[in-house]
Every structure is written in structure tokens, then in C-alpha cells.
Amino acid sequence: MKLKSLLFALSAAALISGSAFAQTPIIIKFSHVVATDTPKGKGAERFKELAEKATNGRVKVELYPNSQLYKDKEELEALQLGAVQMLAPSLAKFGPLGVKEFEAFDLPYIFPDKAVLYRITEGPVGKELFKKLESKGISGLAYWDNGFKQMTANKPLHVPADFKGLKMRIQSSKVLDAQMRALGANPQVMAFSEVYQALQTGVVNGTENTNSNIFTQKTHEVQSHLTVSDHGYIGYAVIVNKKFWDGLPADIRTQLEGAMKDATRYTNAIAQQENDAALDGIKKAGKTTVYALTPTEKAEWRKALLPVRKEMESRIGTEMLKAVDKETAALGYK
């Protein structure tokens, strides 16, 4: 009798743990550095919702915004090690990984508009760039939009001469380094999460970013001037640990790809309005003078920044630059 009840208890325990095992969801840790209330933050939330629904709860997406898990450089290492499964770093952060072609996206005034940009990211060039990540143990899933960058400082920035001697925070891109030097500033690479404090304490004097990042990081509270210059672009590559992704059951991977497609469409649709609303927010906060470059000033910026492309050509690769030129010409731009 005793043996019988022991056997019963054992088989009941096995059943419970067996079913618990069958229901254990696959966890995707998705880490990123920006606030939830941004194009990327909202895109990540939408992906979570769609992915969990599409897989009927077999996948659980855990979001870690605001660098709460890892900072810029660490998060790429964590992805390669498998400590997180998904990231969406800005395209400016792939150089240190050895994939320098991504830095083409950082060239000043390279895209006359977003239509040209989308031809790159959604076309063969975008796919080719993702292929280059494979040898690093990374698979690229999608490109997400943010928007064009503005400059901030504690003084007006109207002409290139205004940048002279300013310490400007940049992302880890050699093109951005060359851009700031071309303007006469001293670039300083710094993790996104450290920018607010660095501006507040004067470790750096200014920075560049999209309005949504400026507003949600409260940069406008520690910068008295913002110049609407639209001189460069910030967008993202949504990437996964390749081994993790390839090891998923095929049906789950397909469902997740569908969720990513829809989340991408959503993110790219809201990006511009998020940035427009953020600029309104910055203006309403009343702590920053917002100034839009005149056409003459913009021409001066372009002139000062033109040599950056030539200087960076051998780093980025002429193939990449030619591809951008081709798409630019295809839309009727010179």
C-alpha cells in the first residue's frame, strides 16, 4: 500500500512537471537604451504584444528599456554571448563590431528624404548589410526608423564657426567623429545613458539627436539651444542572437517574423509624428531656444560637411556609397 501511494505520488509529480515543462515559454529578452515613449520604445512594445499573441503565449518577450540591463557597447556583447536575445541598436553603433558599412547612414545630409532611405533599408543593400552580421553571430530582422538629428548646446549654433572648440557627445561612429571635427568641434564617444549627466556637469557641451530622444532624455533641460538642422539620420537594426533564432521551432520563427513585420510597419508609421510631437514638447517646456537653420545657413553646413564623405569613403566602402547614389538618382535627386 505504501509503495503504491509512493508510486502514485511520483507519477503525479512527473505529470505536473511534464506539463509545466511543455508550457514553459521561450523567453526573448529585448534590451534597448531609449525611453518607452519613443519610436523604438513603442515599436518594442508593439512587437511584444504581437509576438505573444501570434505564438499563443509560447513566446514571452521581456522588454528592458532605458539601458536598465545594458549600455550601448555592453548590449552588443550580451547579445553575442546570448545573455539577451534581441536588440535594436542605432545604425551608428555597428562600426566597433567590425561592420563599418553601416556608418554610411551617419554621413551628413546623405539622404535627401526618407523615401531614399527606405529604398536602401528595404532593398538589396539592407539585406547585404544583414548578411555581414552573420559571421558575428547576429541575424538582422528589420530596420526601424527614428528620424533626422538636431544639434543642441548652451549657445546658439547657426553657422559651423559656432561649433569651434565645443565638446560634442557622439555615438560610437567614426563618421560622426569626422562630422564633428569638420564643424570644428571636439567629438566624444559616450554611452546614451550617460549623456544627460555629462551635459549637466559640463563633461560635454552639446550633442546631436532626434527630437524624440532629446525630449525623453530631458536633454532640453540642460541645453539652452536647439538647432533644427536635420543634418543626419538615426535609425535602427533589429537584431537577434543567430544561434537562438536558428534554433527556434520553425513555426514559432515564422510567427515571430510576421509579428516583426507588423511591428516594423507600425514603428515606421509613427516615427515622424513622435519626433514632431517631441519638438512641440521641447518648445512648450520653455527651457530651450529652438532655431531652424535658414537655407543659406544650411548651405554653409553642407559645404563644411561635404569633405566627410570623401574622408570616410575608404572606411565605408565605395560599393555602399555607390548604392546610396543609385537610389538617390532613382528618385530624381542629383
The residue (of 90 and 255) whose beta carbon lies closer to ligand LMR is 90
209 binds ligand LMR (CB under 6 A): yes
Q: How far apart are the first and last CA of the chain?
A: 89
- Which residue carries 544561434 as its cell? 243
CA 261 vs. chain centroid, Å, equals: 17
213 binds ligand LMR (CB under 6 A): yes
Measured distance CA(282)–CA(286) in Å, rounded: 7
The residue within the footprint of ligand LMR, chosen from 234, 270, 320, 324 (CB under 6 A), is 234
217 binds ligand LMR (CB under 6 A): no
263 contacts 47 by C-beta, under 8 angstroms: yes
Instruction: Name the one range near ligand LMR by CB under 6 A: 32-40, 45-53, 54-62, 155-163.
Output: 32-40
Residue 34's nearest CA partner among 210, 179, 175, 176 is 210
Q: Considering the complex, what minimum distance in angstroms separates the CB of residue 222 from ligand LMR? A: 15
Q: Considering the complex, what minimum distance in angstroms separates the CB of residue 41 from ligand LMR? A: 9
The residue (of 152 and 328) whose beta carbon lies closer to ligand LMR is 152
33 binds ligand LMR (CB under 6 A): yes
The residue within the footprint of ligand LMR, chosen from 55, 67, 171, 223 (CB under 6 A), is 171
HSE, side-chain direction, 13 A CA sphere, residue 157: 31
User: Which amino acid does the sequence have at 99?
Assistant: V
The residue within the footprint of ligand LMR, chosen from 85, 90, 150, 179 (CB under 6 A), is 90
HSE, side-chain direction, 13 A CA sphere, residue 226: 30
28 contacts 61 by C-beta, under 8 angstroms: yes
Q: Considering the complex, what minimum distance in angstroms separates the CB of residue 267 from ligand LMR? A: 12
**Footprint of ligand LMR (CB under 6 A):** 33-34, 40, 90, 146, 171, 192, 209, 213, 234
